[in-house]
Amino acid sequence: MKNNRIMRLGISVFIIFLLVSCQEEFLEENPTIFTTPDQLLVDTKGAEIYLTGGYDAVQNIISAGGQGKPGMMIHWGAIATDLTFYPPWGGDRTQIYLQQQTPSNVTITRIWRELYVAVNRVNSVVDRIGAMTDKQIDIEDRENFVAQAKFLRATLYFALVSAWENVPLIVNEVTSLDNLDVEQASPEEVYNFVIQDLQEAAAILPAEQGGGRATKGAAQTLLGKVYLQMTGFPLMQTDKYALAEAVLQEVIDSGVYSLEPDYTKLFMLDNEQNNEMIYSIGFQGPGAGEGGLFGTYYGPQGNVNNGGGWSTCFAFEEFADSFDPDDIRLRNNIAKHNANDVPNPDEALFNEELWVVNVSNWRGWKWRASNPNTYPNDTPFDNPYLRYADVLLMYAEALNGQGRLTQEVVDVTINRLRDRVRIENPDRPEEEIVPAMILGSKEENNIVILDERRKELCFEGWRRNDLIRFGKYEEAVMAINQVSGNSAGNPGPNYAAFKMRWPIPEPEIQLNPKLKQNDGY
């Protein structure tokens, strides 16, 4: 009974700490270690292994379902947005897509629990490594490891406050079954804690492309994203635009990151840690026990001549039609072909004779590999959590929010992204292909920026946050009208304003009487 209570509350007790290395770059080996923290945390090597357990916890739940977990970036960030739709047999995902989620939704409950399990693991890293003596670990290594863990903790709490708003704020490792009934903090309290963690991390971490580890640029980029989210619902703190501008300017001025010249190479397996990737959650697979879902959930893998696909995720026709036909992002991100009919994935980018799949079976194709694509739920693709293209888009948004966006800034941000995605077409004038953005009114600029984020960052897990922040979530949901292949229906008739946030899981409320349900549920 006690063990069941711990899992339902999302709090794990560190009697035995199981670590599986989640980033091949971190350690030369991928050890599985069964030991107590006290036995492990005696030197720098043990501390690094312990920190890797924190990365593993974030990989499992924030990303696309590592090790069978229900990934936050898929279920919160993409489902129930204007990117994808689901058939009736999609289970909990279909409920979320249709705006029919309830406090008893099993997937939402699992995500809550796993997020708090991850919080406790990362809290343990912060507390225990932070308590190591100078004789056990060099002080610079100790500060660096704790800073990385604070970045990881910020990602977890940013996910929690984005989805539920009113969540318990637990800032230290829980090792006892006593006093587990925790009250919810206000959204502002959680955001302020996230800001503190990221500021402290950015002050310590090195300015470099980290190869999957947290860095100064990663902390600053996430901090800019947090500031921008605070400008929208529910806080509406427009003073945060200036703070976002300042920190994003530092990322731009660092010179560490740059745009990948060829968008089609940006997400390829042999180029995953390129200089556009500020922080990418790593996966290894297939068959390594470290695979994820990005290549399956958003991929057209599957049997020949059936449209492919292991998942129940389909791309909206309206989303595909929103692209300029000669925007390479359309061809790179949405598959209109049978993947296993094409040995070379690049061939389908330009050979329109291969686009034989009915509109009802179009799928994501951002993460693609050569055939045969035979690794369902065990794909090796990394999750690009933060990348430089997002920094440029956020920087333009921060300036526009202050009424200070200029054409010069537009040209070095949004128009830079458009410049790299144009496909030459001799039948069209160059200026008509993915035309450059022209500065307009503040509201007109917001419409363009939000649309550009949809095209550039699709399937990366930020769409719902974007729509909420821009005040366009209800409009986007109500406008969904997929006809072909959408036997589950459209979500508009089920939508109500309170569904902008998720319900607090009912099993958690039953176990913790201090939790209060979000209004409307």
> Does residue 50 sit within a domain?
yes
| DSSP string computed for 428-485 | S-GGGSSPPP----HHHHHHHHHHHHHHHHTTSS-HHHHHHHTT-HHHHHHH----TT
Of 205, 222, 369, 202, give the one whose Cα is nearest residue 281.
222
Read off the pLDDT band of 32 (50, 70, 90): low
In which domain, by residue range, is 173 found?
A: 1-204+489-521
pLDDT at 309 over 80: no
**Total domains in the fold of the chain:** 2
pLDDT at 369 over 90: no
Please give the angle made by the CA atoms of 138, 142 and 143, to the nearest 5 degrees: 120
> Does residue 196 sit within a domain?
yes
CA distances from 137 to 27, 31, 162, 202 (A): 18, 21, 36, 21
Phi, psi of 264 (to 5 degrees): -70, -15
pLDDT at 16 over 60: no
pLDDT at 5 over 70: no
- Indicate whether 147 and 38 sit together in one domain: yes
Cβ contacts of residue 168 below 8 Å, gap of 6+?
116, 182, 183, 184, 185, 515
- Indicate whether 164 and 27 sit together in one domain: yes
% the chain with pLDDT above 70: 88
> Does residue 101 sit within a domain?
yes
Q: For residue 9, what pLDDT is reported?
A: 37
pLDDT digits (tens, 9 = 90+) for 77-88: 999 999 999 889
- Indicate whether 66 and 163 sit together in one domain: yes
Q: Please identify, among 381, 402, 437, the residue that sits at the C-terminal boundary of a domain.
A: 381
pLDDT at 272 over 50: yes
pLDDT at 378 over 90: no
Residue 397 · residue 471 · CB < 8 Å: no
Read off the pLDDT band of 30 (50, 70, 90): very low
Q: What is the mean pLDDT of residues 440-462?
A: 97
Residue 61 · residue 69 · CB < 8 Å: yes
Looking at the chain, the number of H-run helices and the number of E-run strands are 21, 10
CA atoms within 13 A on the CB side of 346: 7
- Give the DSSP H or E segment for 264: none
pLDDT at 445 over 70: yes
Q: Is 286 helix (H, G, I), strand (E, B) or coil?
A: coil
- Indicate whether 66 and 181 sit together in one domain: yes
> Does residue 408 sit within a domain?
no
Q: For residue 333, what pLDDT is reported?
A: 93
Q: Among 277-281, 357-361, 394-398, where is mean pLDDT lowest?
A: 357-361
> Does residue 392 sit within a domain?
no
- Whether the model clears a pTM of 0.95, i.e. scores above it, the answer is no
Is pLDDT larger for residue 119 or for residue 4? 119
- Indicate whether 99 and 198 sit together in one domain: yes
Q: Please identify, among 352, 381, 410, the residue that sits at the C-terminal boundary of a domain.
A: 381
CB atoms within 10 A of CB 198: 29
> Does residue 243 sit within a domain?
no
- Indicate whether 287 and 191 sit together in one domain: no
Q: For residue 223, what pLDDT is reported?
A: 99
> Does residue 421 sit within a domain?
no
- Indicate whether 165 and 41 sit together in one domain: yes
Q: What is the mean pLDDT of residues 332-360?
A: 85
Q: For residue 13, what pLDDT is reported?
A: 33
Query: Sign of the C-alpha dihedral, residues 342, 347, 353, 354?
Result: positive
Phi, psi of 292 (to 5 degrees): -125, -160
Read off the pLDDT band of 269 (50, 70, 90): confident
Read off the pLDDT band of 287 (50, 70, 90): confident
384 burial level (CB within 10 Å; 0-12, 13-18, 19+):
buried
- Indicate whether 187 and 289 sit together in one domain: no
Read off the pLDDT band of 4 (50, 70, 90): very low
Please give the angle made by the CA atoms of 265, 258 and 380, to the nearest 5 degrees: 40
Residue 289 · residue 308 · CB < 8 Å: no
> Does residue 249 sit within a domain?
no
Q: Please identify, among 355, 381, 407, the residue that sits at the C-terminal boundary of a domain.
A: 381
For residue 252, is it left (φ>0), alpha (ψ between -120 and 50) or beta?
Answer: alpha
- Indicate whether 198 and 299 sit together in one domain: no
- Indicate whether 347 and 198 sit together in one domain: no
Q: Among 81-85, 106-110, 157-161, 308-312, where is mean pLDDT lowest?
A: 308-312
Residue 276 · residue 256 · CB < 8 Å: no
CATH number, position 71: 1.25.40.390
- State the Cα–Cα distance between residues 521 and 518, nearest whole angstrom: 6
- Indicate whether 18 and 140 sit together in one domain: yes
- Indicate whether 77 and 192 sit together in one domain: yes
Read off the pLDDT band of 365 (50, 70, 90): confident
pLDDT at 131 over 60: yes
Crossing angle for the helix pair 139-164 and 44-62, to the nearest 10 degrees: 10
Of 463, 441, 461, give the one whose Cα is nearest residue 452.
463
